[in-house]
Amino acid sequence: MMNTITVKYFGEIAEATNCNEEQVATASNKLSDLIEELSKKHDLKGFSMIIALNQNLIELSDDITINNNDELAILPPFAGG
Protein backbone atom coordinates (compact mmCIF):
# COMPACT_ATOMS: atom_id res chain seq x y z
CA MET A 1 0.00 0.00 0.00
CA MET A 2 1.20 3.50 -0.78
CA ASN A 3 1.57 6.08 1.96
CA THR A 4 0.72 9.70 1.21
CA ILE A 5 2.84 12.10 3.17
CA THR A 6 2.58 15.89 3.36
CA VAL A 7 6.05 17.40 3.18
CA LYS A 8 6.72 21.03 4.15
CA TYR A 9 9.90 22.82 3.16
CA PHE A 10 11.41 25.97 4.63
CA GLY A 11 14.04 28.58 3.85
CA GLU A 12 16.68 27.75 1.30
CA ILE A 13 15.35 24.20 1.07
CA ALA A 14 11.96 25.50 -0.13
CA GLU A 15 13.83 27.39 -2.83
CA ALA A 16 15.59 24.21 -3.94
CA THR A 17 12.33 22.23 -4.03
CA ASN A 18 10.50 25.18 -5.57
CA CYS A 19 7.50 24.67 -3.27
CA ASN A 20 6.55 25.21 0.37
CA GLU A 21 4.53 22.02 0.53
CA GLU A 22 3.82 18.88 -1.48
CA GLN A 23 2.02 15.56 -1.19
CA VAL A 24 4.33 12.64 -1.75
CA ALA A 25 3.29 9.04 -2.34
CA THR A 26 5.81 6.46 -1.23
CA ALA A 27 5.85 2.68 -1.18
CA SER A 28 8.22 2.55 1.76
CA ASN A 29 7.18 2.91 5.37
CA LYS A 30 10.66 3.89 6.47
CA LEU A 31 11.33 7.58 6.96
CA SER A 32 14.98 7.23 5.93
CA ASP A 33 13.85 5.85 2.54
CA LEU A 34 11.49 8.77 2.00
CA ILE A 35 14.20 11.30 2.90
CA GLU A 36 16.51 9.56 0.43
CA GLU A 37 13.81 9.76 -2.28
CA LEU A 38 13.16 13.46 -1.60
CA SER A 39 16.84 14.21 -1.45
CA LYS A 40 17.33 12.69 -4.90
CA LYS A 41 14.21 14.25 -6.37
CA HIS A 42 15.15 17.78 -5.27
CA ASP A 43 18.91 17.48 -5.06
CA LEU A 44 19.02 18.33 -1.34
CA LYS A 45 22.48 16.90 -0.72
CA GLY A 46 24.72 19.52 0.80
CA PHE A 47 21.97 21.24 2.77
CA SER A 48 22.24 21.32 6.50
CA MET A 49 18.75 20.28 7.60
CA ILE A 50 16.64 19.18 10.52
CA ILE A 51 13.53 17.03 10.21
CA ALA A 52 10.24 17.05 12.10
CA LEU A 53 7.68 14.25 11.86
CA ASN A 54 4.16 15.29 12.84
CA GLN A 55 5.51 18.55 14.31
CA ASN A 56 8.12 16.84 16.48
CA LEU A 57 11.83 17.12 15.83
CA ILE A 58 13.39 13.72 15.19
CA GLU A 59 16.85 12.33 14.74
CA LEU A 60 16.89 10.45 11.44
CA SER A 61 17.51 6.75 11.97
CA ASP A 62 16.60 3.52 10.19
CA ASP A 63 13.93 2.45 12.64
CA ILE A 64 11.57 5.42 12.25
CA THR A 65 8.41 4.41 10.39
CA ILE A 66 5.94 6.60 8.56
CA ASN A 67 2.20 6.18 8.18
CA ASN A 68 -0.35 7.37 5.68
CA ASN A 69 -1.21 11.08 6.22
CA ASP A 70 1.90 11.84 8.28
CA GLU A 71 3.33 15.33 8.04
CA LEU A 72 7.01 15.93 7.52
CA ALA A 73 8.90 19.23 7.82
CA ILE A 74 12.39 19.76 6.42
CA LEU A 75 14.21 22.94 7.34
CA PRO A 76 17.65 24.52 7.56
CA PRO A 77 18.91 26.91 10.26
CA PHE A 78 18.49 30.59 9.33
CA ALA A 79 21.23 33.13 9.85
CA GLY A 80 19.81 36.55 9.04
CA GLY A 81 18.63 39.35 11.22
Partner 1 sequence: MERYKRQINLPQVGIDGQQKLQKTKVLVIGAGGLGSAILPYLSASGIGTIGIIDGDRVEKSNLQRQVLFSEESIGESKVEIAASRLSALNSETNIKTYYEFLNPDNAISIIENYDVVVDATDTLSIRYLINDACILANKPFVYGSVYRFEGQVSVFNYKNGPTYRCLFKEKNTKVINCEEAGVLGTTVGIVGMLQANEVMKIILESGEVLSGKLLLYNTLNNNQNIIKFKREDSINVDKNFYNSEHLADQIIHINALEAFYSNSQLIDVREVGELPEMVSEKIIKMPLSLLDINIKKLSKDKSYAIFCQHGIRSLTATNFLKSNGFSNVKNIKDGASVIKNILENEKENSIY
Contact stretch for partner 1 (CB under 8 A) within 3-11, 23-31, 36-44, 60-68:
3-11
Closest Cα to residue 20, out of 33, 6, 10? 10
- Spatial separation of the C-alpha atoms in residues 8 and 51, rounded to whole Å: 10
Out of 3, 30, 33, 50, the residue judged to bind partner 1 by CB under 8 A:
50
- Spatial separation of the C-alpha atoms in residues 24 and 67, rounded to whole Å: 12
User: CB-wise, 55 or 62, nearer to partner 1?
Assistant: 55
Residue 10 interacts with partner 1 (CB under 8 A): yes or no: yes
Out of 5, 44, 66, 75, the residue judged to bind partner 1 by CB under 8 A:
75
